[in-house]
Amino acid sequence: MRSQLPLEAFICADETTVQVLKEQDRKPQNKFYMWVYRSGEFTEKPVASYDYQPSRAANCVADILGDYAGYLLSDGYTAYNCLDNVTCMAHVRRKFSEAQKSQPTKK
């Protein structure tokens, strides 16, 4: 899956905290992150990849998408700025949703 993901023209990415209760040499109160990467909705070979990391650092993104060139839909978190050949579409879906809600009904 990780070799297929960079071949996609469009990737969605997000990260969220994860609490692991019983992990060797780590307290349950420590913050860790699940980085989630997914291909676009309309692709022939859909891909979803989960990457468990101890931080939200840019190197977490670079390890997975370092040479990626294409469109990235994310929340605009600064860690994604490490990608040089990416057109970032932060919060783009939200703007379309807001525009749709502001239109008169049946339009």
Encode pLDDT of 15-55 as tens digits. Answer: 999 888 887 888 878 889 999 999 988 888 899 999 999 89
Whole-prediction pTM: 0.78
Average of per-residue pLDDT values in the chain: 87
Predicted local confidence at residue 14, as pLDDT: 94
pLDDT beyond 70 at 1? yes
What digits encode the pLDDT tens for the residues 46-98?
Answer: 999 999 998 999 999 999 998 999 999 998 889 999 999 998 887 677 777 78
**Non-local CB neighbours of 40 within 8 Å, separated by 6+ positions:** 8, 9, 10, 11, 12
Q: Quick one: tokens of 34? A: 């699940």
So what's the pLDDT on residue 41?
A: 83
Grouping H, G, I as helix, E, B as strand and the rest as coil, residue 33 is strand
